[in-house]
Homo-oligomer: A and B are copies of this chain.
Amino acid sequence: MGSGLLKIEALLRAFALGILLLGAILVALDSETEAIIYTIKKTATFKDMDALIALVCVDAAAAAYNLLQLSRYIVHTQIKIKSIESYLKLAWTNFLLDQVITYVQFATNSAALEASTLAITGARSLQWMKVCNRFTRFCVQIGSALLCGYVASLLMILLSLISAFNLFRFYCPKQFFLLKGR
């Protein structure tokens, strides 16, 4: 496998790892206390909304996955994989894991965006009131975390395409699912 592509992959994973961690921390540490009526105060945290709890968990899990993959690159540069069979086993594993984690992270981020949009706009027909006009700073921080999430999604989509490339280019262009001789 080209070591140039391996370097690009490692760099993208490191970026994704950093941005995912930043996103998870931004949501998890977000908290704002406001007075509701006279002395009654209310604190907004990410635990008020299931979608934000899921976002923290999924972002953290995706970051851990990228860290594991990064450690694989370090091992990869030291030992050479001998047979094409063992290379393909690894390539299939990476390919499937990348696909699952990328789709799950993207979907969770989109669900959190939907819940946050409802918190900004409210839903008049359902009598759900706006929340963000009161907890403005809290909502801005969640917004930044969602932006981080989408940047990480883009990086992970790119990574999952690279791992698909690394797998499929070993197959024959003329016949279905036949390995090429090296």
- Chain A residues engaging chain B, CB cutoff 8 angstroms: 2, 4-5, 48-51, 99, 103, 106-115, 117-119, 121, 123, 125-129, 131, 157, 161, 164-165, 167-176, 180, 182
Contacts and interface: CB of A to CB of B under 8 A. Distances in A.
Given A2-B176, A171-B165, A113 B111 contact: yes
A49 B122 CA distance: 10
Given A107-B110, A114-B114, 20 more contacts: A2-B176, A4-B176, A5-B176, A48-B126, A49-B125, A50-B117, A50-B121, A103-B103, A111-B114, A114-B115, A115-B115, A118-B118, A119-B126, A126-B131, A164-B164, A164-B165, A167-B168, A170-B173, A173-B182, A180-B180
A173 B164 contact: no
Contacts of A108: 110
Nearest to A150: B107
Contacts of A182: 173-174
Contact of A173 (B49, B109, B121, B180): B180
A157 B103 contact: yes
Which residue of A48, A108, A127, A169 has the most chain B CB atoms within 10 A of its CB atom? Answer: A169
A129 B114 CA distance: 17
A169 B167 CA distance: 9
Nearest to A124: B48
Nearest to A167: B168
A4 to B, nearest CB: 6
5 contacts: A2-B176, A4-B176, A48-B123, A164-B168, A173-B182
Nearest to A116: B114
